[in-house]
Amino acid sequence: MEDNEVKVREAIANDKSTLALAAFEAMNWNGTARFTHEEFATNTDLSRYLKGWPRVGDFGVVAQTHDGVQIGGAWCRTFAPDDAGYGFIAEDIPELTIGVLPGHRGIGAGTALMASLITIGRSRGLRAISLSVEDGNRARALYERLGFVKVGRNGGSDTMLLQLDAQN
């Protein structure tokens, strides 16, 4: 899929480092270095989002520029209730993580990544996708535009859900 100068392709096992960079950006979304790369790799609450990528059922996409530079990624994975992520709803509803590298935001990469993941989720027959978004994160507008709705609250974050059987 293409959106302006952004090309999106399905993520493969070798994309784990790109997804890790995207996750790092997602965790530090406000420009403040709240987490280091080491903390992301060693903190169980954070590392669960990529540990063992890809597991059975995981799916994701990577955004690239027209000349192949990887600029972001988004992926979904399910969790057990005893290993729940921040946006956990249910074992059969995957949680989405997305990040776009600085300098490449505002060109449609986030929209292209999200649209591709939603398409894949629907093609897999999933009933919904969830995510967690912190207060003040500008990405909330994108999520709402794509049909995600607030279904819960956890600290300073909202849990949002997109029903995939709905036409968005």
User: For residues 100 and 22, is the Cβ–Cβ distance under 8 A?
Assistant: yes
Q: Pick 136 or 48 by higher pLDDT.
A: 136
Q: Where do the structural domains in the chain lie, given as residue ranges?
A: 7-163
74-113 confidence digits (pLDDT tens): 999 999 999 888 889 999 999 999 999 887 877 789 999 9
2-34 confidence digits (pLDDT tens): 445 889 999 999 999 999 888 888 776 666 767
The fourth-level CATH superfamily of domain 7-163 is Gcn5-related N-acetyltransferase (GNAT) (3.40.630.30)
Q: Give the Cα separation of 127 and 70 in Å (integer).
A: 30
56-76 confidence digits (pLDDT tens): 999 999 999 888 889 999 999
Residue 1 has pLDDT above 60, yes or no: no
User: For residues 69 and 12, is the Cβ–Cβ distance under 8 A?
Assistant: no
Q: Which amino acid, one-letter code, is at 45? A: D
Burial class (CB in 10 A: 0-12, 13-18, 19+), 5: middle
User: For residues 79 and 95, is the Cβ–Cβ distance under 8 A?
Assistant: yes
